[in-house]
Structure 1
Amino acid sequence: MSSRKVTVMVVDDDVRILRMMKRMLELEGFQVLIANSGDAALRAFEKDTPELVLLDIMMPDMDGYAVCQRIREFSQVPIIMVTARGDDRAKVEGLDIGADDYVTKPFSASELAARVRALLRRITNQSVTLQPVFHYKALVVDFSSRRVLVNNFELKLTSTEYKLLSYLCRNVGRVLTPDQLLYNVWGEEYIGTPHLLQVNIARLRKKLGDDARKPDYILTRPGIGYIMSTDLIDPNVYDGQNASALTGYR
Structure 2
Amino acid sequence: MKSDALIDLLLIEDDPRLADLTREYLEGHGIIVTLEENGEQGLQQALRHRFDLILLDLMLPDRDGISVCQRLREHSDVPVIMITARGEEADRVLGLEIGADDYIHKPFSPRELLARIRSTVRRARGQSGPRTAVVTVGDLTLDPGSLSARLLGRPLDLTSYEFALLQALAERAGQVLSRDRLMELARGNADEAFDRSIDVHISRLRQKLGDNSRHPQRIRTVRSVGYQYMIPETT
With the shorter chain as reference, the TM-score category is 0.5 to 0.7
Say if 1:84 and 1:126 are closer, same or farther in 2 by CA, change over 3 A.
same
The answer to whether residue 165 in structure 2 is matched with residue 171 in structure 1 is no
Say if 1:85 and 1:209 are closer, same or farther in 2 by CA, change over 3 A.
same
For residues 79 and 18 of structure 1, what CA distance do their matches in structure 2 show?
17
Instruction: Say if 2:47 and 2:72, in contact at 8 Å, map to a contact too.
Output: no
For residues 91 and 82 of structure 1, what CA distance do their matches in structure 2 show?
9
Offset from partner CA, 1:144-168 (integer Å, 9 cap, x none): 466xxxxxxxxxxxxxxxxxxxx9x
SS in 2 for 1:125: coil
For residues 249 and 105 of structure 1, what CA distance do their matches in structure 2 show?
30
SS in 2 for 1:43: helix
Say if 1:120 and 1:145 are closer, same or farther in 2 by CA, change over 3 A.
same
Corresponding letter in the other structure for 1:84: A
User: What does residue 137 of structure 2 align with?
Assistant: 143
User: What does residue 69 of structure 1 align with?
Assistant: 70
User: What does residue 199 of structure 1 align with?
Assistant: none
1:1-250 alignment runs, 5 A limit: 5-45=6-46, 47-84=48-85, 86-125=87-126, 132-133=134-135, 142-144=136-138, 171-173=162-164, 208-210=175-177, 212=178, 216=181, 218-219=182-183, 229-230=185-186, 232-234=188-190, 237-238=193-194
Cα drift, residue 143 of structure 1: 2.4
Offset from partner CA, 1:188-219 (integer Å, 9 cap, x none): xxxxxxxxxxxxxxxxx9x6254x4x853x45
Say if 1:63 and 1:6 are closer, same or farther in 2 by CA, change over 3 A.
same
Instruction: Say if 2:5 and 2:29, in contact at 8 Å, map to a contact too.
Output: no
Corresponding letter in the other structure for 2:88: D
Cα drift, residue 172 of structure 1: 4.3
Cα drift, residue 62 of structure 1: 0.5
User: What does residue 212 of structure 2 align with?
Assistant: none
Cα drift, residue 9 of structure 1: 0.5
Cα drift, residue 229 of structure 1: 2.6
Which segments of 5 or more consecutive residues in structure 2 lack a partner in the other structure?
141-157, 167-171, 200-223, 227-235
Offset from partner CA, 1:92-141 (integer Å, 9 cap, x none): 100100111111211222111111000001111289999641xxxxxxxx
Say if 1:238 and 1:6 are closer, same or farther in 2 by CA, change over 3 A.
closer
Instruction: Say if 1:132 and 1:143, in contact at 8 Å, map to a contact too.
Output: no
For residues 100 and 48 of structure 1, what CA distance do their matches in structure 2 show?
19
Instruction: Say if 1:132 and 1:144, in contact at 8 Å, map to a contact too.
Output: no
For residues 139 and 49 of structure 2, what CA distance do their matches in structure 1 show?
43
In angstroms, what is the RMSD of aligned CA positions? 4.2
Instruction: Say if 1:85 and 1:106, in contact at 8 Å, map to a contact too.
Output: no
For residues 106 and 81 of structure 2, what CA distance do their matches in structure 1 show?
12
For residues 249 and 84 of structure 1, what CA distance do their matches in structure 2 show?
31
Find the structure with the greater CA-based Rg: 1
Say if 1:33 and 1:132 are closer, same or farther in 2 by CA, change over 3 A.
same
Question: When the two structures are aligned, how many residues end up with a matched partner?
Answer: 179
Say if 1:110 and 1:74 are closer, same or farther in 2 by CA, change over 3 A.
same
SS in 2 for 1:171: helix
Corresponding letter in the other structure for 1:79: V
Say if 1:115 and 1:52 are closer, same or farther in 2 by CA, change over 3 A.
same
Instruction: Say if 1:126 and 1:172, in contact at 8 Å, map to a contact too.
Output: no
Say if 1:239 and 1:104 are closer, same or farther in 2 by CA, change over 3 A.
closer
